[in-house]
Amino acid sequence: MNDNATPSLKICCCQCGARLDMGGLEPFTIVACPVCGTKLRVPKRFDRYILEKICVSGGGATIYRAQDPQLSRRVMIKVPDNSGYYAGDSEGRFLAEAKLVAKLNHPGILPVYNCGVCEGKPYLVTRYMDRGDLGSMMKRGELPPLRELVGIATVIAEALWYANRTANVVHHGVTPYGIWLAEAGEVRLGDFDFADVRGPGDQSPCAGWAVPAYVSPERLYSGGEDARGDIFSLGVTIYELLAGRTPFGAGGETEELYERRSAMDFPALDTLRPEISESLSDLVSHMLDFEPDCRPEYPEIVRELKSAAASLR
């Protein structure tokens, strides 16, 4: 056998059922089935999985839609690009993320199915969410209606509350891009890349970087935050999803970002959208409070979000 031979990669055409060998073709390009002409995307073999397409690329990693032939199910596979936070020790950081998330069993948290190393890169295998992430949906102008958005925010608040009260886990990276949806109505929080275990008041420096639009003022000041930082970031996320803009802008130098949060100069949600109740608007404004001690705690947040969702049509 020739060791240099191109490995075969056989798939079936979804239209005519013809069995095709795509080994040697450029992954993720579009080709026509030679039998019926149906346009097909060239997959890529990756360990035991078959990568079908890129779902999201950015933030130091690429997420693929993939097939797990061994278990006959579709999954998502996250692979770092070895830049930024993942430069140098991406394998160790990915393994740490997998171990942390494996301890969390909640219907609002994206489960990790497997992890490994292939082609010199570590990877995580998670549940496949066919509607994608909220950040990408927002960019395309395809966000769900208001009532569903408030329901989604409720699930994420419950997931963060569960992670913190059961395992002292703080996420440190809540944004719309880490919230995944499925057609079956599932809502899952992912992107635990920078999560760690810490108690109340622990504001020691966090690992990794923070997205400027969502970072808490205390993390800007000291480099660290406890669970109240997640509450702030969730408040920014809810505000953006409901208002179509972030309350403090999307970028700037650290001092400028800090001053904007200190001023708390943003329009209340109920002044931007009349269908939003005053109580929901006040809740989000309090979540965005500059002082961590003045932000509401998770039980109140969940209770108010559930009440707001129930009142919307």
pLDDT, tens digit, for every residue of 199-225? 999 999 998 788 999 999 999 999 999
Q: Are 225 and 216 in contact (CB under 8 A)?
A: yes
Helical H segments across the chain, by residue range? 90-102, 134-139, 146-167, 217-222, 227-243, 254-263, 269-272, 278-287, 298-311
Please check whether the two domains, 45-127 and 132-311, share a CATH topology. no
Q: Is the pLDDT of residue 299 over 90?
A: yes
Least confident of 81-85, 142-146, 219-223, 284-288: 81-85
Q: Is the domain defined by 132-311 classed in CATH 1.10.510.10?
A: yes
For residue 89, give the nearest of 195, 208, 209 by alpha carbon.
208
pLDDT digits (tens, 9 = 90+) for 18-31: 888 888 888 888 99
**What is residue 18's predicted lDDT score, i.e. its pLDDT?**
87
* Phi, psi dihedrals of residue 105, rounded to the nearest 5°: -120, 95
pLDDT, tens digit, 9 for 90 and up, residues 129-166: 999 999 999 999 999 999 999 999 999 999 999 999 99
**∠ at Cα 139 (133, 144), nearest 5°?**
60
Given a cut of 60, whether residue 3 has pLDDT beyond it is no
Q: Between β-strands 121-127 and 10-12, what pairing exists: parallel, antiparallel or unpaired?
A: unpaired
Position 1 confidence tier, pLDDT thresholds 50, 70, 90: very low
Whether residue 233 is predicted with pLDDT greater than 80 in this model: the reply is yes
Average pLDDT, the chain: 92
Give the tens place of pLDDT for each residue, 39-52: 988 899 999 999 99
**Contact criterion met (CB below 8 Å) for 191 and 176:** no
Q: What is the CATH number of domain 45-127?
A: 3.30.200.20
- pLDDT above 70 coverage of the chain, percent: 95
Residue type, position 151, single letter: G
Q: Where are the domains of the chain?
A: 1-42, 45-127, 132-311
